Amino acid sequence: MTFLSYLINGLSLGSIYAIIALGYTMVYGIAKMLNFAHGDVIMVGAYICFYAVSAYQLPPPVGILLAMVVCTVLGMVIERLAYKPLRQATSLAVLITAIGVSYFLQNSALLLWSSTTKIFPNFFVIPRGAETSTGFSLFDGQLNISYVTVVTVLACLVIMLALTWFTGNTRMGKAMRACSEDKGAAQLMGINVDTTISVTFAIGSALAAIAGVLLCSAYPTLSPTTGSMPGIKAFTAAVFGGIGSIPGALLGGLLLGVIEILAGAYIGTQLQNAVVFAVLIVVLLVKPAGLLGRQIREKV
């Protein structure tokens, strides 16, 4: 039962990584750039939800929706001000800009909300009389599963299915796929590439808000640097599964979460990050494009 408990916790953490990784993989797949500020958008979404519920006493669903709206607008503003002027710039210039935006968001959060660590409330509880229940037990109490874990895994699966349907059946989704294949050809066919990229940033940022709430509900601390390490690990998950692939983000996130939890349990928490990145290196040595990625040959 102990191993099963670790496995479930790994799937829960991996689901969060997968939702975050979607932002990386969608932006890279279409704009061919790495948005390293994505992890800090997670932090902003968590703060918005935290203050909406704690300070203004809004219901949690309203707080989550407000966080999604704010992060959607934030993602579009970042794309318009920081990345759009660099559309024809080198990859190095875009990368440095993304790191700069990341530090700007962290320091802005530091000025707005201070460096004091906040205790994030658990929204996923069920009242039972005078008390509240945070989870349920199976096998005569030998296996405990929290409601946060269930909601996180279900949310990940629903988001993945919705995005897969969206990219395959809607006009904007097909425009995204066309831009990911060849932006020049897509523009010649009448697709507005700038609008498509902005919508991609908006969707990724809205998902980042959901991931921020789920992450802080499972690990209830919140600070201006909350999104930094999960953002890096989610980027690792995107590369692991094959960056640019939505199923790859799901597979990479789940595997990364399971590996991290099992490594922490059986090897030690001090080495779990080293194990995670070592596995990534091994996978990329065998499959440079990731588990579900594809090699693209360029004609010269």
pLDDT tens for 185-199 read 888 888 898 899 999
For the segment 206-262, what is each residue's pLDDT rounded down to a tens digit? 999 999 999 999 999 999 999 999 999 999 899 888 888 888 999 999 999 999 999
The pLDDT value given to residue 119: 92
Token pair 């953002």 is found at 231
Distance CA 27, CA 10 (A): 26
The pLDDT value given to residue 66: 96
pTM of the model: 0.92
Mean pLDDT within 127-152: 82
CB 256, CB 240: distance < 8 Å: yes
Could you tell me the pLDDT band of residue 300, with boundaries at 50, 70 and 90?
very low
CB 155, CB 61: distance < 8 Å: no
Q: Please check the confidence at residue 130 and state whether its pLDDT lies above 70.
A: no
- Please give the structure tokens belonging to residue 107: 């320091």
Could you tell me the pLDDT band of residue 129, with boundaries at 50, 70 and 90?
low
What angle (nearest 5°) sits at the alpha carbon of residue 68, between those of residues 65 and 72?
Answer: 145
Among the listed residues 70, 16, 103, the one whose alpha carbon sits nearest the alpha carbon of residue 205 = 70
Token pair 């992890």 is found at 39
For the segment 65-108, what is each residue's pLDDT rounded down to a tens digit? 999 999 999 999 999 999 999 888 888 888 899 999 999 999 99
Mean pLDDT within 116-143: 82
Q: Strand pairing of 221-222 and 118-119? A: antiparallel
- Please give the structure tokens belonging to residue 38: 């994505």
DSSP string, 225-254: TTTHHHHHHHHHHHHHH-TT-HHHHHHHHH
- Please give the structure tokens belonging to residue 278: 């070592």
The pLDDT value given to residue 35: 87
